[in-house]
Structure 1
Amino acid sequence: MIPYRVSKVRRLGPARLTAGLDEHRRLDLDAHRSLHGEPPAAPADSLITMAEDVDLRGRGGAAFPFARKLRAVAAKSRSSETIVLVNGAEGEPASMKDKTLLTRTPHLVLEGALLAAGALNARQVVVAVAAGDLAEASVTAAVAERDLHGVVRVAGIPERFISGESGALIKAVNGEAGIPPGRKTRSSDSGVDGLPTLLSNTETFAQLAVLAELGPDDYASVGTVQEPGTILLTVGGSAVFPAVVEVTPGVPLPAVLDMCEAAIGDGVLVGGYHGAWLPAAEAYGAVVSRRGIAQAGGELGAGIVVPLGGETCPLGETLRVARYLAEQSAGQCGPCRLGLPDLARAFAELTGGATNGAELVRQAAAAVRGRGACFHPDGSARFVLSAIEAFADDVEEHRAHGTCGRPVLEMLPLPASERAETRLAVDWSRCEAHGLCAHLAPDLIKLDKHGFPVVAEGGVPPWLAGQARKAIEMCPALALRPTHG
């Protein structure tokens, strides 16, 4: 028996995707069958009709109609072998819902994928997960429990922020570098092994299994008319009880946060690191649904909800992630390779109190939007720009005083490897205010009104490592040094 570590699960509404997880750390095949039974096989036309009846959308962020994907691959299945690909590569650090499904209720995900594979007469189901993750172990065990070796392949791939992008995922599964391709090709035309591929994310296939189990009418008995069923959210940040929460669309966002004892504070990030910040006033009135979050000024995306609380610097938090997003570039186009570091530098200027900081950020964002080989530059720009609007008071506070006076508490999660970063520290017993460090590392160090160095919050990003090294080596008083952690 694998000793699974598990994510906490909470609910506002019926337990569908999370059924049984109060009693079981992980649902093996017998426990799964006792809760969900075994859905009958369904032809492609029936699955398409059911998906259309409830407007089932992809749950990976783009909310693309699942029936359209299914129809496109079904048309190709008449003349070609096909593949079903489950996107479990949850590279978004703030999301845990797909890992939770794959780790704790893997058979529900497999059920949906196998239903689709049967309808398409697919050659194989491929489940792509982060290599070495608990989810990989859980799904591998589930395949063995069903004796599906050869029918289902578990593909462990390197995990990066962009690893879940469809083109990058397919390349990784095919044994290539997992970066977005320069030329976009629909997976329904050419995907795994060059075959037409039905690609959707983990929660989408779990939703398909629930839909087939309940039927469209019962499935749509909860939620809203426009968005029936339930959805999964990952609630973190200031939450006392961070959790994956299953909710029915239409519930107030504050009710979800109250359940997790999360303070809104300055605002809430929705949709993850390609999403947007909601200022507190908008967050208090927001409704959890694609439409409700859009009306509040955000995007539900993959269901990531990160309330900030009021103890941390929101601009410093945003800067940490802006630097991380720049480092996650595939490095194959100018807007990513050059533009995102420029955007992070501009946001550092704003955080440091530059008078024209907001304008610098807008200019840097304009230089990358709509010009990348994938959505990464656009999503990163949207995230950063939303911070200027949501935290306008803090922008003014930093402009006036160089800081808001609050520390950066790292409320926004980053991978452990990203947190163990190099930082600059000043030995104040040695510093003599020569000012040379600010000249050599202008993106990392400013001088206060007395000429003493003020080091930027956060670590030293790779593209500024040269500046940091020169400043350390050339400090006349040997007062500047690197630290790690």
Structure 2
Amino acid sequence: MSASKVPPVTAIGTPRITAGFDEYGRLDLVAHQEVHGGFAALSSGELIGLADRIELRGRGGAGFPFARKVRAVLDSCRRQDLPPVIVVNATEGEPPSWKDKAILTRGPHLILDGAALAAAALDAEEIVIGVADDGIGQDSLAAALAERKMPVPTRIVTVPHRFISGEGGALVRGINGEAHIPPGRKVRSSDNGVMGLPTLLSNAETYSQLAIAARLGPWEYNSVGIPEEPGTVMLTVGGSATAPAVVEAPTGTPLMDILTMCGADIGPGILVGGYHGKWLSAEAAKTVTISRKGFAKAGATLGAGMLLPIGSSTCPLGEVAQVTQYLAGESAGQCGPCRLGLPDLARSVTLVSLGGNALEDVRAAAGVVKGRGACSHPDGTARFALSALEIFHKDVAAHANGEGCGKQVRGILPLPYHQNQGVRKLALDWSRCDGHGLCSAVAPEIIRLDANGFPAFPTTPLPPWLEDGARRAVNVCPALALRLTEAAGK
């Protein structure tokens, strides 16, 4: 894959990270230096001071203060008498997110600048850059590395393009040659990260923002955006937007300005913060400004900067059910809440979308997984599902009374298997089905029995990891009522 797969990039106001993208497309080293100029090396104290003064926080979703990370790494290095490692998380495993890939493919030298600044300031052992194995951005990054000399050895590590591969602990494990899944217990990378060394880990946009700030200085950097959260943020606008894009915008920009620019039909709601985020109603979206504080006022979080309006032409419950199924399949499967609880949550959400009276089942399943997983995946999935049922309560009622919303699932919320041809769906011949129920016994992760004892299952395309179970259900049906059909990829 190439940069052509990345959505168009645009900016509100004067671009910073995306400066030069319009003129050069991709900035090689010469173009990068012409657009951004040089910068001076920083000591560890200067690095911390700069990050503190610009209120730099991680842009991967958690929003942890960058200066606190640096302090924790330095303290660990002194305590253990070990050198640190700098890790750039550019994996971007969430299907709706493109902001880091936009920087990788078009402005890779900014990422390298930020990592080089940190490495020189902390006297690091090496720099490791984690990218997904989807082929997007890796060639651009390798070409950028070949053009320049880094202050310490720098290598690229590819990880599987999965939702959980970008979790910090999973990335460190992958770099160390272990399974690319989150560790079963909380491990601070600042104490024990790559090769057991103290590790400074942050995402690609964060290092790019650091590189911008080192050139501008704190006063000029803080001249854009709101005082408590200065600077710009990178956002991915997708969903129902007719002009999806990666947008660089100053903090404090009204959310509606960005959605209008991208031709977004909000419909009944918008998902913010990605598939571990929350849904906002259309009314609430009109009051939000782009900042952590702005989203917090609406009971949501900016996360990694994904804005996904659902639009008016798709079934929101079907979309939510499909994503919940995907998230259940993306678990590491190493703890009960993920291995057992998330499939149960996905089944319950699917039953709601099919018109079943399963709201309490959804709440019960979400309650079982919340706060009990080895990582944040169960909590994030539960938050996504519960907020959807709250925002789309009118659709829930319409489905429950048998009327339905009258809309098909259009794949507005992107999933990896939407891109594949030959995706399969389960189909039922009602004239043959006698309600034996064997299908639900062999494939409970897909099929449940309704109140009359007949099978109920999603009408959406099956994720690849559920196809084996679907085949088992088809094979055991004594009435030959079930079959797998081909569904064209979206």
Q: TM-score range, shorter-chain basis?
A: over 0.9
**What is residue 33 of structure 1 aligned with on the other side?**
33
What does residue range 208-357 of structure 1 map to in structure 2 within 5 Å? 208-355=210-357, 357=358
**What is residue 405 of structure 2 aligned with on the other side?**
404
Structure 1 unaligned spans of 5+:
none
What does residue range 419-458 of structure 1 map to in structure 2 within 5 Å? 421-426=423-428, 431-436=430-435, 440-441=439-440, 444=447, 455-458=457-460
Q: Aligned partners of 2:51 and 2:403: how far apart in 1? A: 53
Match of 2:155 among 148, 153, 156: 153
Residue 376 of structure 1: CA displacement? 0.4
What does residue range 10-159 of structure 1 map to in structure 2 within 5 Å? 10-78=10-78, 79-148=81-150, 151-159=153-161
Residue 266 of structure 1: CA displacement? 1.4
| Aligned partners of 2:125 and 2:152 also within 8 Å | no
Structure 2 counterpart SS, 1:146: coil
Aligned pair count reads 478
In structure 1, give the amino acid aligned to 2:414.
Answer: P
| Aligned partners of 1:268 and 1:279 also within 8 Å | yes
In structure 1, give the amino acid aligned to 2:407.
Answer: R
Q: Aligned partners of 2:402 and 2:34: how far apart in 1? A: 61
Structure 2 counterpart SS, 1:309: coil
Q: Aligned partners of 2:172 and 2:278: how far apart in 1? A: 27
Q: TM-score, normalised by structure 1?
A: 0.93
Match of 2:473 among 467, 470, 476: 470
| Aligned partners of 2:427 and 2:484 also within 8 Å | yes
Distance 1:10 1:418, change over 3 A: closer
Residue 423 of structure 1: CA displacement? 1.1
Distance 1:36 1:352, change over 3 A: same
Distance 1:43 1:346, change over 3 A: same
Q: Which moved more, 1:332-341 or 1:284-293?
A: 284-293
In structure 1, give the amino acid aligned to 2:153.
Answer: V
Q: Aligned partners of 1:84 and 1:332: how far apart in 2? A: 28
Q: Aligned partners of 2:466 and 2:7: how far apart in 1? A: 35
In structure 2, give the amino acid aligned to 1:223.
Answer: G
| Aligned partners of 1:324 and 1:418 also within 8 Å | no
In structure 2, give the amino acid aligned to 1:21.
Answer: F
In structure 2, give the amino acid aligned to 1:400.
Answer: N
Distance 1:101 1:467, change over 3 A: closer
In structure 1, give the amino acid aligned to 2:383.
Answer: R
Distance 1:245 1:3, change over 3 A: closer
**What percentage of residue pairs aligned between the two structures are identical?**
51
Alignment deviations for residues 304-351 of structure 1 (CA, whole Å, 9 cap, x no partner): 000111000101000111000000110110000000000001111211
| Aligned partners of 1:143 and 1:149 also within 8 Å | no
| Aligned partners of 1:12 and 1:248 also within 8 Å | yes
Q: Aligned partners of 1:149 and 1:56: how far apart in 2? A: 23
**What is residue 366 of structure 1 aligned with on the other side?**
367
Distance 1:465 1:150, change over 3 A: same
> Does residue 204 of the first structure (1) align with residue 203 of the second (2)?
no
Structure 2 unaligned spans of 5+:
none
Residue 463 of structure 1: CA displacement? 5.8
Q: Aligned partners of 2:3 and 2:305: how far apart in 1? A: 24
Residue 23 of structure 1: CA displacement? 1.1
Q: Which moved more, 1:282-291 or 1:336-345?
A: 282-291
| Aligned partners of 1:4 and 1:25 also within 8 Å | no
Residue 159 of structure 1: CA displacement? 1.7
Q: Aligned partners of 2:467 and 2:133: how far apart in 1? A: 30
Residue 460 of structure 1: CA displacement? 4.0
**What is residue 389 of structure 1 aligned with on the other side?**
390
Residue 123 of structure 1: CA displacement? 1.3
Residue 406 of structure 1: CA displacement? 0.6
Q: Aligned partners of 1:9 and 1:189: how far apart in 2? A: 37
| Aligned partners of 2:51 and 2:66 also within 8 Å | yes
Alignment deviations for residues 340-385 of structure 1 (CA, whole Å, 9 cap, x no partner): 0000011112112222x11110000000000000000000000000
Distance 1:472 1:405, change over 3 A: farther
Q: TM-score, normalised by structure 2?
A: 0.92
Q: Aligned partners of 1:143 and 1:397: how far apart in 2? A: 55
Residue 465 of structure 1: CA displacement? 4.6
| Aligned partners of 2:435 and 2:455 also within 8 Å | no
Residue 457 of structure 1: CA displacement? 2.4
Distance 1:153 1:424, change over 3 A: same
Structure 1 counterpart SS, 2:413: coil
Q: Aligned partners of 1:223 and 1:417: how far apart in 2? A: 37
Match of 2:179 among 151, 164, 177: 177
Q: Aligned partners of 2:164 and 2:8: how far apart in 1? A: 26
In structure 2, give the amino acid aligned to 1:28.
Answer: D
Structure 1 counterpart SS, 2:202: strand
In structure 1, give the amino acid aligned to 2:237.
Answer: V
Residue 191 of structure 1: CA displacement? 0.8
| Aligned partners of 2:86 and 2:118 also within 8 Å | yes
Distance 1:287 1:149, change over 3 A: closer
Residue 131 of structure 1: CA displacement? 2.3
